Every structure is written in C-alpha cells, then in structure tokens.
Structure 1
C-alpha cells in the first residue's frame, strides 16, 4: 500500500510539473499561440459555410477563399466603425469632464447649504473620463496587434480548411481507440458550433436592446455602447457588467443621477432577462460547465492569453472537459467541472452526434 500511494503521489506531482511547463510555454509563446488559436477558431466558423457551398458544387478552394474574404471584409468594416466612434467619443471627453465638474460643484453647494461639509474636488480631479472606454480600447489594441499576424492567420486557416475533410480518416488510423476519441471530438465540435451560433445571436439581441434603450433616452454614442454590449457579452459572467459602466456614467454626465439610475435599471433588466432567463433556456446545459468553472476559466485564460483568452475561455474549457471525459484517469475531474454530479446526460447526447462537423 505505501508503494502504491507513493506512486500515485509521484504521478500527481509529475502531472502538475508537466502542466506548469505547458502553461509557461503558452504564456511565453502567447504571441504565436494566439494567432494559431484564432486560426483554429476561424476554421471552425468557416468550415460549415465552406461545406455548404461545396454541396452546391462550388470547388472547396473557391469556397474557402470567398468565405475568408467575406470574413475579412466584415471584420474590417466592424472594427472600422468601432474605431471611428471611439475617436469621436474621445474628442468629446473634455466637454464631459467639464459637465461632471459642474455637477459635483452643484452637489457640493447643495450639501453645504445643509451643513454637510464634503469636499468633492478630489473626486473630480482624479476622475478620468477616458477610463469609460479603457477596456474597449485595450481590447481593440490587442486585436490590432494580433492582426499584425493577419497573413499568418489567413494562411494557417486556409491549410486547416483544406485539411479538414481528411482529418477524420487520419485520426481514425492514428488513434488507439478511434471510435471513442472521435466521438469526443464530435461532441466538442457540435457543442462549439452550437455555442458560437447561439451566443452570437444572444449578443446581437443584447446589443440591439442596449442601443435602442440608450437611443430612446437620448444618450450620446448609443451605437458605440450597443457594440460594446455586443462584444462584451461574449465574455462570461463579468462582460455584461463591464459593458454597462460607460453607458451609465455617460447618462450621469448628460442627465444627472436620476436618469443614470434609470439607465442602470434598464441595463439590469436586460442583463437579468437575457442572462438568467433567455440564455439558459436557449442554450440549456449544452456547455456542460458549472457557473463557477466558467468564472474561474475566464480568470485563468484571461491571465494566460489576455483579452483573446477571455473571449475563448468557454470553448477552451469545454474542449478540456470533453477530452477529460474521454479518459478514464481524468473522468472524475471532468465531473467536477460539470454542472452536476453526473456526465451520463452528456454521454447520451454524445452518442446521438453521429456526424463530425469537420467532415460534413
């Protein structure tokens, strides 16, 4: 028994050492890992479209090139609109700072009339309105620096898409238990495609609701805040909270605390309805991850890969969990990552996935 325990401890320590080495390698090589991850993401998004075109006798090479061109045009248009609106908002920031100072001086005078000595000058001096869009500009900056590898991303995606139809056959010959392991990969691809499609739709609805609410209220740059709500909704748990901050603060600067509280209530109503009612009913338990694991994965992948890791936190964690479920040694850990104490439901769902999206 002591020998068995020492062997188990040694295996655990070796596994932790290997994990630390892998994490260190990913962290140090993030400038290369991130473009490759984006290539894999783009491949998973583009492959169903390429397969759809192929069904109409469109050659796969032409389908790949046309799909990637469409993706690039959409990305440039989307990022260009965001950058233009951010530039206009930055130009208006000094005026908002003056409005904020006037509001704080009025509040200070109101309190002084009621013998409440309170100096609010320190708040106005330390307040930086540019912090309203700090997270967004950081994300745009990260994406911009990553786009310096645009040629690498496009070329890697082209080769991945060309290889996709051949991959199932190669894996079937290379894997020791191909049926079981391919089934796990099918589960991940099925879950990933479903997650991206539904999350994009839900994020679009969130952005439209937020933009419409701010437009009706007359908040400036409502299109920008709708886009922020759309983008940050892809970041689980905290994304919607961060996205609400600039809209509420700008409403405070424009209309005062009463209307800002009303806008905050609107954000809260949208996020609660979308996040706690619509999204769970639409997406169900397809992710197979507990809320705590989703939140911790956001922190972990964000630390490891930056803003891109925060966006990819759920798919990456989904992939790790599904791979763990396919291993007898790690199946118990996969159960801990799930929403309940059983993986029988996901196993049953996996058996119903008979086609691999990469090969369709």
Structure 2
C-alpha cells in the first residue's frame, strides 16, 4: 500500500516537473511559438471558408490562396487605418496636455475653496497623456514584430490547410482510441469556430455602439475609440474596461466633467447590455469555462505569450479543457475548469 502511494506521489511530481519544463520552454521560445500559434489560428479561421469553396468544386489550393490573400488585404487595411489614426492622436497630445493642466488647476482651486486638500499638481506632473494609447500601441508593436514572421505564418498556414483533409485518417492510425479523441477534436473545432464568429460579431457591435456614441457627442477620434473597443473586447473581463478609459478622458478634456460622466454612463450601459444580456444569451455555456478560469487564463497566457496570449487565452484554455475531458486521468480536473453546472452534469452521467 505504501509503495502504491509512493508511486502516485512520484507521478505527481514528475508531471509537475514536466509542466514547469514545458512552460519554461514556451516562455523562452515565445518568439517562435507565437507565429506558430497565429498560423494555427489563421488555418482554423480559413478552413471553413476553404471547405465551402471546395463544395463548389474550387480546387483546394486555389481556395487556400484566395482566402489567405483576402485575409491579408483586410488585415493590412485595418492595421493601416488604426496606425494612421493613432499617429494623428499622438500629434494632438501636447494640446490635450495643456487642456488637462488647465482643467486640473481649476479643479484644484475649487477644492481649495471647499477646504478639501488634494494635491492634483503632483499627479499632473507625473501624468503622461501618451499613456492613453500606450497599451494599444504596445499591442500593435508586438503584433508588428510578430508580422516579421509573416511569410513563415502564411507558409505554415498553407501547409496546415493542405494537411487538414488527411489529418483524420492519420489520427485514426496513430491514436489508441481514435473515435473518442477525434470526437474531442471536433468538439474543440466546433466550440472554437462558434466562439470566434460570435465574439467577432459582438465586438463589432460594441465598437459600432461606442463609435456612434462618441460621434454623436462630438468627441475627437471617435473612429479610433470604436476600433479600440472592438479590439479590446476580445480580451476577456478587463478589455472593455481598459477600452473605455481614453474615450472618457478625451471627453473630459473637450467638454468637462459633466459630459465625461455622461459618456462614462454610456460606456457602462453598452458594456452591461452587451456583456450581461447579449453575450450570455448568444454564447450561452458554449465556452464550457467558469468566469474565474477565464480571468485566470487571461493573466496566465498574457504573462506567457504577451498580447497575443491575452487574445487567445479563451481558445487555448478551451483546448486544454477538452483534451483533459478526453483523458481518464485528467477528467476530474477538467470539471474544475468548467462552469457551475458542469459538476452537476458529471454527477448525472455517473448516477
């Protein structure tokens, strides 16, 4: 009995050691891992379109080249628009800093009259308006450095798409229980495609609502803040909060505290409507992840892979959870990653 316990403990420590080695390897090799992950993401996104074109008897290689070319053109136009708008905003920052200094000086004088002692001057001296877009520009910069591997990403995606029809047959020969594990792979692909499609649609609606609200209020660079809301909505939990900060501060600079509070209320209304009403009803329990796991996965993958890891945190965690569910050894651990009703469903299956 003691020997069995010793063996079990030894296996646990061996598994932890292997996990630490894998995480360290991914962290050290992130410059290569990130392009490969982006290649897999691009292949997963393009494969349904390529399969659809194949139904109309379009040769697979032609469908792959057409789909990837269209994606590259769209990405270049989108990133070019974002970069030009960020450049215009950066050029206007010195003027906004002067406006912010005057606004803080008036606020300081008003608080002094009310015998409220708050040193806003120290805060203003340490405040850098360029921080409004630092997170966005950092993300664009990281993606831009990753795009130096653009040729590698495209070539790897082409080979992945060419290999996709042959993969099920190879897995049937290589796996010990192919039907069960192929079913898990199909579950992941279905969940991934559903998540990306619905998340993109919801993010577009969020960006349009934010941009329209700021346009109606007359806030400068409303297109940029709509794009920020669209992009950051892919980052779970904290993305929409970070995306609201620059629009609210710019409204404060242009129109004052009253209008800034009005825009803040508008952001809250949009995020509550989208995040608590539309998104749960549309996406349901399709993720199969608890809110705590989503938040922790955001922190972990962001630390491991940077901005790309933050965007891919949900799909990567979904993949790990589904692979755990297909393993007898890790099936119980997968329950901890699931939503509240996953444990009840597991008990019902076992009863």
TM-score (norm 1): 0.94
Q: For the residues of structure 2 that align with 1:53 and 1:345, how far apart are their CA atoms?
A: 39
Gap runs ≥5 in structure 1: 349-360
Query: Aligned pair count?
Result: 348
Q: Indicate the residue corresponding to 1:356 in structure 2.
A: none
Gap runs ≥5 in structure 2: none
Q: Indicate the residue corresponding to 2:246 in structure 1.
A: 246
Task: Kindly state the Cα deviation for residue 113 of structure 1 after the two structures are TM-superposed.
Answer: 3.3
Q: Indicate the residue corresponding to 2:235 in structure 1.
A: 235
Q: For the residues of structure 1 that align with 2:136 and 2:70, how far apart are their CA atoms?
A: 24
Q: For the residues of structure 1 that align with 2:8 and 2:90, how far apart are their CA atoms?
A: 58
Q: Indicate the residue corresponding to 2:212 in structure 1.
A: 212
Secondary structure (helix, strand or coil) at the match of 2:212 reads helix
Task: Kindly state the Cα deviation for residue 345 of structure 1 after the two structures are TM-superposed.
Answer: 5.6
Q: Indicate the residue corresponding to 1:353 in structure 2.
A: none
Q: Is the 8 A contact 1:219 1:254 kept in 2?
A: yes
- From the superposition, tell whether residues 174 and 251 of structure 1 become closer, same or farther in structure 2 (CA, over 3 Å): same
Q: Indicate the residue corresponding to 1:275 in structure 2.
A: 275
Q: For the residues of structure 2 that align with 1:117 and 1:330, how far apart are their CA atoms?
A: 57
Q: For the residues of structure 2 that align with 1:111 and 1:229, how far apart are their CA atoms?
A: 34
Secondary structure (helix, strand or coil) at the match of 1:169 reads helix
Q: Indicate the residue corresponding to 1:305 in structure 2.
A: 305
Q: For the residues of structure 2 that align with 1:131 and 1:97, how far apart are their CA atoms?
A: 12
Summarize the alignment of residues 23-38 of structure 1 with structure 2, pairs less than 5 Å apart.
23-38=23-38
Q: Find out whether 1:99 has 2:111 as its counterpart.
A: no
- From the superposition, tell whether residues 343 and 319 of structure 1 become closer, same or farther in structure 2 (CA, over 3 Å): farther
Q: Indicate the residue corresponding to 2:153 in structure 1.
A: 153
Task: Kindly state the Cα deviation for residue 258 of structure 1 after the two structures are TM-superposed.
Answer: 1.2
Greater relative contact order, per chain length (Cα 8 Å cut-off, separation 6+) = 1
- From the superposition, tell whether residues 345 and 208 of structure 1 become closer, same or farther in structure 2 (CA, over 3 Å): farther
Q: Indicate the residue corresponding to 2:78 in structure 1.
A: 78
Q: For the residues of structure 2 that align with 1:190 and 1:343, how far apart are their CA atoms?
A: 22
Q: Indicate the residue corresponding to 1:58 in structure 2.
A: 58
Q: For the residues of structure 1 that align with 2:153 and 2:241, how far apart are their CA atoms?
A: 31
Q: For the residues of structure 2 that align with 1:165 and 1:95, how far apart are their CA atoms?
A: 57
Q: For the residues of structure 2 that align with 1:190 and 1:116, how far apart are their CA atoms?
A: 58
Q: Is the 8 A contact 1:335 1:341 kept in 2?
A: no
User: Cα RMSD between the aligned structures?
Assistant: 1.5
